[in-house]
Amino acid sequence: MVIIMKFIRNPEIQREFLAVIFLLAAAGLVAVILIGVHGAAGVMLTGLVFACLHFLSAWLRYRKIAWMSQNLDEILLDDSVALLQECEEGELAILYSQLGKLVRRFRQQNSDLKKDRILLADSLADISHQIKTPLTSIHLLLRFLEEEEITLERRCEISREIMQLLERINWLVYALLKMSRLDAGVAVMKSEKVSVQELADKAYGLVAVSMDIRGIQWSTKIADNASFYGDLPWSVEAVGNILKNAIEHVPEGGGIFFSGEENAIYTEIRIEDEGSGIAPEDLPHLFERFYRGKGSDSQSIGIGLPLAQKIILGQNGTIDVRNREQGGAVFRIRFYKTVV
């Protein structure tokens, strides 16, 4: 009954009703003049039948539109309400379909926004914790420097500790800025031919001093002309982070082995180390942000490997890690020639 009253009060329907009455009256008057009263009655009756059919069709259309409007209101108020269902063929069916697509898109965007908010909240909490710890340590160390009886040797030792903590904060901020650029999609990665040999040399240059201090051996086995299409600076960043992780687990005098080969489908890079390997329970979480495994260095933040994975995935690549049978871990990177 409510829908009927709304239909009758609809201004568009009222205008159509008045127009139909006017046309019927005009047609009846013309018919009386041309064909007489009996002929005019037939014309009026025929016109009245067509008018009834027209308003019946308008009523059915109006009822479907009213149902669609009610369904949309329910969807806006409650995400659990089912999407619009398909109806018969025609203009309304097309409208139903388009509205259904729009609702699904809005729900997906809403779901993505909720995930982003949760991720942002978790990231801010992790960042706050990661920065708060070294800042607290720096504050305590500065208090020690204020003591008058502190020796020069102790002062130098505290200064070195403060520098290490500042470097840790600097690396955290640097890595998080890189991650945020990748997450936001504003980091532009080139698609140029990258030599695997050049990548290995530049990545090794980032960690050469650290490896030399610990006596870690570096060896490579790279196929001639092995290459892939990607961004060299970003790739160096990714491989450098993997090498830094390997250094944390390799004992003094151990080794890190870098190999690369290319086939018709992908270019594969393997980074193997002679360290202690990765605990089985840590393997599924190794690329999670701020995750630190059992064997991680005390200064480790847990952002290097997630950053490396993000960079590699952004270049149509994949990365996985497993333990070697003879000990240590192996990271396998593949840059595919087509989208996988």
pLDDT tens digits, residue range 214-246?
A: 999 999 999 999 999 999 999 999 999 999 989
Segment 27-38 mean pLDDT: 70
Task: Kindly state whether residue 49 falls inside one of the protein's structural domains.
Answer: yes
Task: Kindly state whether residue 302 falls inside one of the protein's structural domains.
Answer: yes
Task: Kindly state whether residue 98 falls inside one of the protein's structural domains.
Answer: no
Q: How far apart, in whole angstroms, are the C-alpha atoms of residue 107 and residue 102?
A: 9
Looking at the structure, do residues 239 and 288 belong to the same domain, yes or no? yes
Looking at the structure, do residues 155 and 203 belong to the same domain, yes or no? no
Per mean pLDDT, which range of 30-39, 290-299, 310-319 is the poorest?
Answer: 290-299
pLDDT at residue 338, rounded to an integer: 74
Looking at the structure, do residues 179 and 197 belong to the same domain, yes or no? no
Looking at the structure, do residues 198 and 329 belong to the same domain, yes or no? yes
Ranges 48-52, 163-167, 188-192, 213-217, most confident: 213-217
Q: How far apart, in whole angstroms, are the C-alpha atoms of residue 162 and residue 140?
A: 10
Segment 137-142 mean pLDDT: 87
Looking at the structure, do residues 178 and 204 belong to the same domain, yes or no? no
For 261-317, the DSSP string reads EE-SSEEEEEEEE-S----TTTGGGTTSTT---TT--TT--S-HHHHHHHHHHTTTE
Q: How far apart are the first and last CA of the chain?
A: 57
Question: Domain tally for the chain?
Answer: 3
Task: Kindly state whether residue 87 falls inside one of the protein's structural domains.
Answer: no
pLDDT tens digits, residue range 50-105?
A: 777 777 777 677 777 777 777 777 777 776 666 655 556 666 667 777 777 787 78
| Enclosing domain of residue 258 | 192-336
Domain boundary among 158, 184, 210: 184
pLDDT tens digits, residue range 248-267?
A: 889 888 999 999 999 999 99
Looking at the structure, do residues 199 and 178 belong to the same domain, yes or no? no
Task: Kindly state whether residue 131 falls inside one of the protein's structural domains.
Answer: yes
Residue/partner pairs of 286-293 with CB below 8 Å, 24 or more apart = 286/321, 287/319, 289/123, 289/126, 289/179, 290/126, 290/130
